[in-house]
């Protein structure tokens, strides 16, 4: 199963909004509404930020939002804050009990 | 609160075996499917395996099928990953993660590092 495609980097100034894309195929993102996003700070475990395309777990700020169109999902971070600087990974269920991740996007807060 | 704690990592020679454990607490372990996910140094995340609630169904990534075996002991709230015929490319941090109802990985352990090297 091929990895999902994410841009290697993204950036924005504090208070701005930034969107991170995640492109897959009709066998993963396009075929299911089971897209999730994870935040990972250096040396730490990933943390779930978005599940089922656009839902936020309890405790995740509403500055984080998710969407999907066709085979591409997006994570938008609004009102950027310094603590948002991290690596972000998308993931999708990919049929036959397989899961696939994106290569990760390094978000820099300028 | 939900806690997952991996152990068992270390340095191992190519072709040898290693067994990882993941001790769970703070939730009813037998009510959840559990995953292993790995991350090679400086690289992205890679799904490795899933085991369902009672351990009857197990699923693997192509890269580890036939070499790795996922299992669980619900009486001990512990998840395992038996890794045989290890290769250099299996070098990674190995995380256990809980599967939520929406096919997301909702809680993660801190990981255990496996290094395959002669």
CA dihedral over B93, B43, A7, A29, signed as positive or negative: negative
Q: Which residues of B touch A98 (CB under 8 A)?
A: 47, 59, 61
Instruction: Report the pLDDT value the prediction gives residue A48, as an integer from 0 to 100.
Output: 97
Q: Which helix (H) or strand (E) holds B4?
A: strand B3-7
Separation of alpha carbons B1 and B17, rounded Å? 33
The DSSP code sequence of B87-98 is: -GGG-EEEEEEE
Under the banding of pLDDT at 50, 70 and 90, the label for residue B28 is very high
Nearest CA in chain A to B41: A43
| B40-53 pLDDT, tens digit each | 999 999 999 999 99
pLDDT of residue A1: 60
Q: B112 versus A1: which is more confidently predicted? A: B112
pLDDT above 90 as % of chain A: 94
B3: closest CA of chain A, how far (Å): 12
User: What pLDDT is recorded for position B46?
Assistant: 97
Pair A64, A75: CB distance under 8 Å: yes
Q: Check whether A3 has a pLDDT greater than 90.
A: no
Q: pLDDT at position B65, please?
A: 96
Position B73 pLDDT exceeds 70: yes
Nearest Cα neighbor of B68 from B94, B29, B42 is B94
Phi and psi at residue A54, to the nearest 5°: -140, 10
Beta strands in A29-95 (DSSP E): 35-40, 47-50, 64-69, 72-77, 86-93
User: If you average pLDDT over residues A18-42, what whole number do you get?
Assistant: 96
Q: Choose from A9, A20, A37, A45 for mutation: most chain B CBs within 10 A.
A: A45
Q: Give the model's pLDDT for residue A101.
A: 96
Q: Which of A21, A24, A20 is nearest to A98 (CA)?
A: A24
Minimum distance, in Å, between the CA of residue B99 and any CA atom of chain A: 11
Indicate the pairing of strand B68-73 with strand B78-83.
antiparallel
What integer best gives the mean pLDDT of chain B?
A: 96
pLDDT for the residue numbered A68: 97
């Amino acid at each position: 199963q091929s990895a999902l495609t994410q841009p290697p980097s993204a950036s924005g100034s504090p208070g701005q909004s930034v969107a991170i894309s995640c492109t897959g195929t009709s066998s993963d993102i396009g075929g299911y509404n089971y897209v999730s996003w994870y935040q990972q700070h250096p040396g730490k475990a990933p943390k779930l930020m978005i599940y089922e395309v656009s839902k936020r777990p309890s405790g995740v700020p509403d500055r984080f939002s998710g969407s999907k169109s066709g085979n591409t999902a997006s994570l938008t971070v609004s009102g950027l804050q310094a603590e948002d600087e991290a690596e972000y990974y998308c993931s999708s269920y990919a049929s036959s009990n397989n899961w696939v991740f994106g290569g990760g996007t390094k978000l820099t807060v300028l | 609160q939900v806690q997952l704690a991996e152990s068992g990592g270390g340095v191992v020679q190519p072709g040898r075996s290693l067994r990882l454990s993941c001790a769970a607490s703070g939730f009813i372990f037998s009510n959840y499917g559990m995953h292993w996910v790995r991350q090679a140094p400086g690289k992205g995340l890679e799904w490795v395996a899933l085991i369902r609630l009672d351990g009857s169904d197990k699923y693997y990534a192509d890269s580890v099928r036939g070499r790795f075996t996922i299992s669980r002991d619900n009486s001990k709230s512990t998840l395992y990953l038996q890794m045989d015929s290890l290769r250099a490319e299996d070098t990674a941090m190995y995380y256990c993660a809980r599967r939520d109802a929406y096919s997301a990985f909702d809680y993660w352990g801190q990981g255990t590092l496996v290094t395959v090297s002669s």
